[in-house]
Amino acid sequence: MERDDRFDLATGRGLMACPRCDALHVEEQMDLGETARCVRCGTVMAKPRDGAFAQLIALSFTSMVLLVGAVFFPFLEVSTMGFGNASSLFDVALAFADGILLPLVLAVLAMIIGLPIFRAFLLLYTLVPLAQGRTPYRHAARAFRWSEVMRPWSMAEIFVIGTAVALVKVAGLASVHLGPAFWAFCALIFVNLASRAFMCQTSIWDAIEDAGMATEFPADPRPGVDG
């Protein structure tokens, strides 16, 4: 293997390890639209897309708007024998605010509303300066890492399926009308899918790094030594 300056086996500079199988790769400049896969396990390691940051910003805004609507508009309306009950998720939260099931309600609300909104906010915090070519905000790296950590815990799409099941269960008992908040959640699924298509963690990390965050390993201690 020819020795070149692109990477350094002593400090790890210019190298990337597959998070799934630990195989080492040399970082290379990629063209937009290309997809890099790990040579050993095939995990997608990078897929830079044209205008991805702008798309992600737009989609994050969209999901924030949808989520705010989903909280305050009526979600489902149920009525039987003259007894009716229209509830927004906000009402639901208030109704349970003093019960012993408060922790469960809080956890559910966090998973379907809180984390998605927070993730959208963190993504905006990270990406807006990067898209404008400015220096990222101070906690950009931490914000993006947390947003990735929270990804499995934001469960809006699962909530929609849960709603469908609940509708069938309640259908025999009362008549149910879907409110705007329900459709907001359905739209959110598609926004999330689109967002996933544009999301390339490697590109974002590289952008954060290139934009001047202090990320290099402090001063190569053994110049010229290779591993």
| CB neighbourhood size of 221 (10 A) | 9
d(CA 94, CA 74): 14
How near is the Cβ of 151 to other proteins at its closest, in Å?
Answer: 10
Question: Residue 29: which of 202, 152, 201 has the closest Cα?
Answer: 202
In the complex, least distance from residue 61 CB atom to other proteins, rounded to whole angstroms:
24
Which residue number, 62 or 202, has a Cβ lying nearer to other proteins? Answer: 202
Nearer to other proteins, 58 or 176 (CB): 176
Q: How far apart are CA 119 and CA 137, in angstroms?
A: 16
Judged by beta carbon, residue 42 or residue 51, the one nearer other proteins is: 42
Strand bridging mode 36-37 / 44-46 = antiparallel
| Kind plus residue range of the DSSP H or E element containing 184 | helix 180-198
Closer residue to other proteins, CB minimum distance, 17 or 193:
17
Judged by beta carbon, residue 134 or residue 142, the one nearer other proteins is 142
Smallest distance, Å, CB 9 to other proteins? 6
Query: What region does 112 belong to: left with phi over 0, alpha with psi -120 to 50, or beta?
Result: alpha
Least distance in Å: CB of 184 to other proteins?
15
The minimum distance between CB 200 and other proteins, in angstroms, equals 12
Asked if residue 179 lies in contact with residue 86, where contact means CB atoms within 8 angstroms, the answer is yes
Distance CA(54)–CA(60), nearest Å, equals: 10
